[in-house]
Amino acid sequence: MQIRHIALLSDWDAAVASGEYRVSSLGTTIDDEGFIHASTPEQVEDTARRFYAGVGRPLVVLCLDTERLEAGGVPVRFDEVAPGVEFPHLYAALPVALVDEVRPAAFDADGTLRY
């Protein structure tokens, strides 16, 4: 299954330099949260609007495959965050080699995230 993670370009660049991505969400790490937040392709737009609109810094969307992550030692769980609403979470740091694609992302004039 395909999932997504929205990241600041600067955080992704730091991950490439170190070999692993450790940011959970904007301003927090896996060490703070215990996991890395992710979204399904259908959830990413709402996630972007709620947490990244107005950030004013370059963004990227990391495209991930849950089977590849699991095979690479990154457990993925779909956790209920509200009644009947589940989001994927990565329960280990993300090796950059397990990222399938990195897409530049930006909000257009109507507030839609394009990536």
The per-residue pLDDT of the chain, averaged, comes to 97
State whether the Cα torsion 57-26-38-68 is positive or negative.
positive
- The CATH number that domain 2-109 falls under is 3.20.170.20
For the chain, state the CA radius of gyration. 13
- Domain definitions of the chain by residue range: 2-109
- For 14, the token pair is 């730091």
- For 11, the token pair is 């955080």
* Helix ranges, 21-100 (H): 30-33, 44-51, 66-71
* Helix ranges, 52-94 (H): 66-71
pLDDT, tens digit, 9 for 90 and up, residues 5-44? 999 999 999 999 999 999 999 999 999 999 999 999 999 9
pLDDT, tens digit, 9 for 90 and up, residues 62-73? 999 999 999 999
Is the model's pTM score more than 0.75? yes
- Residue of 73, 98, 79 whose CA lies nearest to 21: 98
